[in-house]
Structure 1
Amino acid sequence: MPKPKLSLSPVPEQETDVGGRLSGSESPSEVARSGAASQASADLSTWAAELQTETGKSHTCSTEDEEDDSTGESEDDQDEDEEWDTDLEIEELRKSHDSAGRGTYLHTCQTYGVIPISYFLRHMKDSELILTHHGLSPKAAKALSLSLTNNTSVVKLNLSDNWLGGEGTAAIAEMLKENCFISDVDLSENRSRVHGAKALSAALRANATLVTLKLRRGEAAQYLAEALATNHKLASLNLSHNRLGEAAGEVLGAAIAENVGLKELDLSWNCFRGQGAVAVAKGLGANIFLRVLDLAYNGFGNKGAAALGEALKVNNVLEELHVGNNCISLEGALSLAVGLKENRTLKSLRVPRNPIASKGCVGILKAVRANPGTVLEFLDFSEIVVKPDFVELCAAVQEVAPGLRIKHDGTTRLFRRDPAKVS
């Protein structure tokens, strides 16, 4: 007998009401999973809140730690600074060493109540310092000299035309006793007078580096004579325009004879006459170092020219001689010619503006032609009226000595506008 077939009708769906009864579509396992998820979400929210609180605390701790670290670093830096204090002080001391004397100058200006020279402050480290026409007062000169005492940069100093006077010149002289770098000084037109000249004389006796000194219009340069007799370093000295006079010429003549250092000496415009001029010429004869001597615009006259002629006979070192405008006439020119016959070192002779006339020029030219050992290269007869025989002799002499240049004004009238001829 066949078995009865089972009914295959579906299971009726179960629903849940609002009170929480299960619907027919959700199983108990799904309900369990939903509850678990809700619990996990709540736990996650709680953990996040705790984490935020802990993060805030951590941030606060880290900030405090950073502050502690920065405080520690600053303390370490202070310790390091304290450890390096000695080296920094040494460096500051090195920087404070002012080789140019800037600090000294500013302080001294303040002490003396003078205005600092801005040009000096800008150029105090130059090798050549030019402070001309600044109208320096004696106090300003003192401030400047104190700064230059230890200056190691300046080697050439030009303070001409500043009206330093005796006191200001003396201050510069005191500086030159201590400074061992400056070798060239120009103190012209400062009216150094007796006080300044004596101070410079003392400085020259102590200074061993000064090579060139210019003291034009110093008005008391004869007081340097004593220093010239002992100073062996000074090579060039300019004492022009000092109106020294006859007595000073006698003193300087003796100093020139004893000096063993000068190579260039300018004594022009000094009113040397009579015995003063003769003494200077005799000093030249005894000197064995002088190469260039300028005696222009004095009053040597014929006596002085005769003494120069004798000096040229024995002097074997002089190369240039300038005796223009010295009231030398024909007699004096012929005396010079006697010395030129024997001289073997003179290369340049200038005799312009002297009343030696054409015969005097001819006499000098004949002496040169008669000297086989002459080395003369230049003769200056400017502003002297000459005759045709002189012009002819010039051509004859230059055939024998082709290297000789002769400057003259030809046979035209004196003071013509055309430039002088150079044969």
Structure 2
Amino acid sequence: MTDENDNDEKQENGETAEASGLLEVEADETAVNSGGRAPSRAKSRGSISDQRKTVVRTGSRLSSRIESGLDKDDQRDNNSSRAPSAATFDSETTAGYDTDLEVEATILNLKRKQREQYDASGRNIYKEACRLNGVIPVSYFLRNITESELIMKHHGLGPAGTKAIAIALVGNTTIVKLNLSDNWLAPEGAFAIADMLRENCYITDLDLSDNKLGNQGAAALCSTLLQNSNLTHVTLSGNNFEDKCADAFADVILNNNKIEYLNLSNNTFGEAAGLAFGPALAENISMRQLDLSWNHIRGKGAVILAEGVGGNIGLRKLNLSWNGFGNEGTIALGKALASNNTLEELDITNNRITAEGSVLLGKGLAVIDSLKVLLIGKNPMQTAGCYAILKSVKENSNSTMEEIDFGNIQVNKDFEDLFKETLELLPNLKVKHGGTKEKVKPKPKMNPMAKLQKYIQVNNLRLVDFFNKFDKDGSMSVNYEEFEEGLLETGIDLDREEIDWLIKQFDKDGDGDIMYSTVFNRLTSPTSF
């Protein structure tokens, strides 16, 4: 009886505590409705502060009753009797309170929405741009859009794919090096990239080579390059640029003071381009490397361009290979080297430079003290031209030359001897060439007597049969004229000098007749050969 009384007492105490809790909640709600201060947030179970409220859950009370030893009927009765108050309690308390977990989840959701609203990488923008332009998103671009270097060669983007990428890169802040070479951008793609570069201020290195941009694409890019102050390296090789857009690029060279590397190789720039580039290059002070290789710059254009090199004070590397400077342009280039004191590497491979042009180029090499590398191979200068170049370098007491490439040009022993002398002054100098020519020794001439003997053996003749070719009348002697005619009929390879030598050998007494006996003795004597 005592245990049952104790249990009933505990149950009554629990109901009393619950009722007290409900009264507290109702009191708080009344305070809120009446303008009082509501609780700021939900408090967890176990709080020890008097200011925090403890939320009592039905599940925890049922668990304590099961552990206390109540049977199932008591549990069911208690559940049914207390369920309304518990439901009322939960609905009333959760109206003004949240648990800690619910608050954290809400904060995470807000942060995620903020990230979605501000997409610094441009992934979402790219997907939407692809949808609007009717192209499939490139997964490689999505994976690497947050990298500092994006290399997308040979992806077949086309104008539409390029436009989608350009839209995504407008607000991108991570990519600083962009390579879209060989993607068939066409002029439309160039327009999109040009528009993007007007807004993007992070990309410093751009490669759009082999994209068939044409003159229209060149005009759009040049217009942007005049305004862009971030790009330092620009590669536009293989884009079918012609002289029509040369003035636009000349404006960039003249007015853009940020570009340090410009590659316009493998285009179709001609004489007019040289006329435009020369004056602009003379005024440029920021460019360090210029590549104009594999174009058609020649004639007056080559001369004016060379003069521009002479007036430039910032260029370090210049590639003019595979153009057509010829001797005219080479002479101007020699004068430019004499006045330039900053150029360190010059490539004029395959420019129709002859030995004469090499001598005139050497006048500049004898003066310039900054040039370290000279590439001048595959020119028709032959050994004499190579010798002239090396001699000029040797005579320059201030020369800092480290490498000269005479690729595919053979040199002779005189050149090798000069090189050994130059090494004493410039021990670090390396010279490449097409090999050393060996002096061709003239083949020793075959003894004329041996030629006659060989003819007799090859044709299986007796000596008398051979002589009968000369002795038409059978007198066993012939004069000089008959002997010479007979030799010509045989077809034996004998020149005038050799024939005269044979006549002297066969007519020792000089009477003008050649006897068979003399011919026999001379051809059968070992000392005759």
Conserved? CA contact 1:200–1:224, under 8 Å: no
Report matched runs for 1:313-324 at 5 Å: 313-324=338-349
Report matched runs for 1:349-388 at 5 Å: 349-388=374-413
Task: Give the letter aligned to residue 84 of structure 2.
Answer: E
- Rounded Cα–Cα distance in structure 1 between residues aligned with 2:195 and 2:216: 12
Task: Give the letter aligned to residue 411 of structure 1.
Answer: T
Question: Cα RMSD (Å) of the superposition?
Answer: 2.6
- For 1:35-83, what per-residue CA distance to the aligned partner results, in whole angstroms no more than 9, with x for missing partners? xxxxx9xxx9xx9xxx999876544333333323332343235699799
- Rounded Cα–Cα distance in structure 1 between residues aligned with 2:97 and 2:136: 44
The equivalent of 1:164 in structure 2 is 185
Task: Give the letter aligned to residue 173 of structure 2.
Answer: T
The equivalent of 1:340 in structure 2 is 365
Conserved? CA contact 2:413–2:437, under 8 Å: no
The equivalent of 1:419 in structure 2 is none
2:135 pairs with 1:114: yes
Report matched runs for 1:262-301 at 5 Å: 262-301=287-326
Conserved? CA contact 1:225–1:255, under 8 Å: yes
Task: Give the letter aligned to residue 228 of structure 2.
Answer: N
Conserved? CA contact 1:391–1:410, under 8 Å: no
2:159 pairs with 1:138: yes
2:228 pairs with 1:203: no
Which secondary structure does the structure 2 equivalent of 1:195 belong to? helix
Report matched runs for 1:394-409 at 5 Å: 394-409=419-434
Per the alignment, do residues 67 and 412 of structure 1 end up closer, same or farther by CA in structure 2, a change over 3 Å counting? farther
2:91 pairs with 1:71: yes
Task: Give the letter aligned to residue 170 of structure 1.
Answer: F
CA displacement at 1:137 relative to structure 2: 2.2
CA displacement at 1:353 relative to structure 2: 0.4
Per the alignment, do residues 84 and 383 of structure 1 end up closer, same or farther by CA in structure 2, a change over 3 Å counting? closer
Which secondary structure does the structure 2 equivalent of 1:293 belong to? strand
Conserved? CA contact 1:249–1:277, under 8 Å: yes
Task: Give the letter aligned to residue 247 of structure 1.
Answer: A
- Rounded Cα–Cα distance in structure 2 between residues aligned with 1:91 and 1:298: 58
Conserved? CA contact 1:127–1:153, under 8 Å: yes
Conserved? CA contact 2:125–2:168, under 8 Å: yes
Task: Give the letter aligned to residue 416 of structure 2.
Answer: V
Larger RCO, structures 1/2 (Cα 8 Å, 6+ apart)? 1
Task: Give the letter aligned to residue 388 of structure 1.
Answer: K
2:270 pairs with 1:249: no
CA displacement at 1:358 relative to structure 2: 0.9
Q: Count residues in correspondence.
A: 367
Q: Percent identity?
A: 42
Conserved? CA contact 1:312–1:340, under 8 Å: yes
- For 1:294-323, what per-residue CA distance to the aligned partner results, in whole angstroms no more than 9, with x for missing partners? 011010000110111001011010000000
- Rounded Cα–Cα distance in structure 1 between residues aligned with 2:112 and 2:321: 58
Per the alignment, do residues 327 and 56 of structure 1 end up closer, same or farther by CA in structure 2, a change over 3 Å counting? closer
TM-score, length basis structure 1: 0.81
CA displacement at 1:95 relative to structure 2: 4.2
Which secondary structure does the structure 1 equivalent of 2:188 belong to? helix
- Rounded Cα–Cα distance in structure 1 between residues aligned with 2:145 and 2:228: 21
Which secondary structure does the structure 1 equivalent of 2:206 belong to? strand
- For 1:171-190, what per-residue CA distance to the aligned partner results, in whole angstroms no more than 9, with x for missing partners? 11111111111111110011
The equivalent of 2:337 in structure 1 is 312
The equivalent of 1:229 in structure 2 is 254
Alignment gaps of 5+ in structure 1: 1-39, 414-423
- Rounded Cα–Cα distance in structure 2 between residues aligned with 1:349 and 1:55: 100
The equivalent of 1:182 in structure 2 is 203
- Rounded Cα–Cα distance in structure 1 between residues aligned with 2:273 and 2:395: 37
- Stretch moving more, 97-106 or 249-258: 249-258
- For 1:93-114, what per-residue CA distance to the aligned partner results, in whole angstroms no more than 9, with x for missing partners? 2442111111111111111211
CA displacement at 1:336 relative to structure 2: 1.0
2:113 pairs with 1:92: yes
- Rounded Cα–Cα distance in structure 2 between residues aligned with 1:399 and 1:239: 39
- For 1:138-170, what per-residue CA distance to the aligned partner results, in whole angstroms no more than 9, with x for missing partners? 122111101001111111111001111111111
2:96 pairs with 1:102: no
- For 1:338-387, what per-residue CA distance to the aligned partner results, in whole angstroms no more than 9, with x for missing partners? 00111010000111001111111111111111111111111111111211
2:328 pairs with 1:303: yes
Task: Give the letter aligned to residue 328 of structure 1.
Answer: I
Task: Give the letter aligned to residue 280 of structure 2.
Answer: A
The equivalent of 1:216 in structure 2 is 237
CA displacement at 1:88 relative to structure 2: 5.5
Task: Give the letter aligned to residue 152 of structure 1.
Answer: T
Which secondary structure does the structure 1 equivalent of 2:96 belong to? helix
Per the alignment, do residues 293 and 76 of structure 1 end up closer, same or farther by CA in structure 2, a change over 3 Å counting? same
Task: Give the letter aligned to residue 351 of structure 2.
Answer: N
Conserved? CA contact 1:229–1:258, under 8 Å: yes
Alignment gaps of 5+ in structure 2: 9-69, 439-529
- Rounded Cα–Cα distance in structure 2 between residues aligned with 1:262 and 1:108: 36
- Rounded Cα–Cα distance in structure 1 between residues aligned with 2:315 and 2:229: 19
